[in-house]
A = this chain, B = another copy of it.
């Protein structure tokens, strides 16, 4: 269960407490919007709170890492060799590219293939699973381009 390993802090704990003994407790892993209820004593409780982390957060941690989205995006048209990928993604160091590629590979979004040429060449290809992410990545791209040019980032 993917909830395991996520740290819980005061709020999480509160939520857990507040859902204790309630119908449906612990099963609220859906992503319905949370809301707040007030009980007879005026205490406020969260209902259907984001099951730490909710789908949005979970998704962001998979493709939201630095350079991760860019890498995936640049693989959409076919296999790309390592150094070419590095050339395409200006600003990212080889170390970063490597790390993110390994991560994407571990999660099955990207496939690594070594061709026995000399010198050796390695290509990275987006998998079918990885391809399912391209949809909203394109949404993100369009949104990003629609933003005011002078919006400062960093």
Contact = CB atoms under 8 A, between A and B. Distances in A.
B56 A88 contact: no
Given A74-B34, A93-B9, A153-B61, A87 B136 contact: no
Nearest to A135: B139
Contacts of A9: 90-93
B140 A49 contact: no
Contacts of A153: 2, 58, 61-62
Given A45-B87, A133-B143, A136-B140, 20 more contacts: A1-B149, A2-B149, A2-B150, A2-B152, A6-B154, A11-B86, A11-B93, A14-B87, A15-B90, A33-B76, A49-B87, A49-B90, A50-B91, A54-B70, A57-B67, A59-B69, A59-B141, A136-B139, A136-B142, A139-B139
A140 B54 CA distance: 11
Interface in A106-154: 107-108, 129, 132-133, 135-137, 139-147, 149-154
